Amino acid sequence: MARRKEKTYQPGPAVQAAWPPGVSGNVLNGQGETAFRKASPFFWHPPTQHPFGTLQQLASDGCRCTQEAVDEFAAARNYPALVPVNPERAERTAAEWTALAREFALANESDLFGATTVKEHYIVEGYDIDVPNVVMLGFAHDYDNLKQVPSSPANGKGIAEVGRQYARCTRASYKLANWIRSQGFNAYPYPGPRADALLLIPPAIDAGLGELGKHGSLINRTYGANLRLAGVTTDMPLVFNDQDVFGSDDFCLNCRICEDACPPDAITDTKQWVRGAERWYVDFDKCIPFFAENAGCAICLAVCPWSRPGIADNLVVKMARRRATQAGGHGQS
């Protein structure tokens, strides 16, 4: 077996000074907990709601490393107004509403569309979501820009690309929410970049957008992990998607490209219990210092084999073949 790469990264003094004494983000996130509980408000929530407020400010300042990145993140935080809900609505089936909403979303900047019901483990502790359904949207980064991470004042292309796609998340989720409202239903956008009531990865998995990767981000069968997410909660009747299990989780079991590439060694090779579910988990205490010092990082997204354009289709076929061989093998024994 090949040896793991030596990691030499050590957090610098600014991160150490900003760290809340005695606090672990992994404990706050419920690493090692086998019973279910909701996620606690965490990074990118208002700084008064969690203990990492000072570090969050440091990370946020670091992401403004070039004027282009500043401008893209400003566009991402330019939240439009929500229109009032139309008191009149047409009689349509859930299938008809879903087809119309999908068509609208895909024509208005989203690359992916899926729907599911709102479940308890999507909602952050202390928040409420009082509509039953959620539409999940996916947005691919420009891969050539994204792969220039980590960013710095000398080359901010990677983090500017993250900001640019967040701006698309904002525009697209608000446009879809306003379209749904104009059709007579409640709708609330969750665009990122700031955190809110809704965790985005768990509903994206249930809405068929992909599987959770070893690097803690969702892997889609077309775009890999080269993807941002946004959501719109609503009471519009919708047809729900099934999960899309296409083999990336199995692939992660034997792949360690992101583990090896992660400078602070934050990605682990085994699944862990976190708030009652056994799944991939990224060590926040190791990840965040490098993230804060390197303008948002995203190396794990860029190196993921599923993210390279044109590769995911082949990997889906390869994983289907592997499953068929394994099933055949079991049948013969």
* Of the candidates 253, 242, 250, the residue with the CA atom closest to the CA atom of residue 327: 250
For ligand B12, give the closer residue by CB, 102 or 168.
168
Other Cβ atoms less than 10 A from the Cβ of 53: the count is 16
Contact 259, 1 (CB under 8 A): no
For ligand B12, give the closer residue by CB, 172 or 201.
201
CB of 276 to ligand B12, least distance (A): 8
CB of 77 to ligand B12, least distance (A): 13
Contacting residues toward ligand B12, per CB under 6 A: 29, 39, 42-44, 121, 162, 169, 192, 195, 199-202, 205, 212, 215-218, 225, 227-229, 274, 277, 279, 281-282, 284, 287-288, 291, 296-298, 300-301
State the Cα–Cα distance between residues 159 and 62, nearest whole angstrom.
10
Contact 28, 262 (CB under 8 A): no
* Total residue length of the chain: 333
For ligand B12, give the closer residue by CB, 202 or 305.
202
For ligand B12, give the closer residue by CB, 158 or 238.
158
Region of residue 76 (left: phi > 0; alpha: psi -120 to 50; beta: else): alpha
State the Cα–Cα distance between residues 63 and 4, nearest whole angstrom.
30
* Of the candidates 236, 244, 246, 242, the residue with the CA atom closest to the CA atom of residue 102: 236
CB of 217 to ligand B12, least distance (A): 3
CB of 88 to ligand B12, least distance (A): 33
Q: State the greatest distance between any 2 C-alpha atoms of the chain, in Å, as a whole number.
A: 65
Give the distance from CA 223 to its chain's centroid. 13
* Of the candidates 233, 236, 237, the residue with the CA atom closest to the CA atom of residue 86: 236
For ligand B12, give the closer residue by CB, 208 or 296.
296
State the Cα–Cα distance between residues 151 and 52, nearest whole angstrom.
22
State the Cα–Cα distance between residues 43 and 45, nearest whole angstrom.
5
CB of 204 to ligand B12, least distance (A): 7
For ligand B12, give the closer residue by CB, 232 or 298.
298
CB of 143 to ligand B12, least distance (A): 13
For ligand B12, give the closer residue by CB, 160 or 218.
218
CB of 86 to ligand B12, least distance (A): 28
Amino acid at 307: S
For ligand B12, give the closer residue by CB, 149 or 236.
149
Angle at CA of residue 269, ends 265 and 273, nearest 5°: 105
Q: Which residues contact 112 (CB under 8 A, 6 or more apart)?
A: 136, 137, 138, 139, 209, 220, 222, 223, 227
CB of 307 to ligand B12, least distance (A): 9
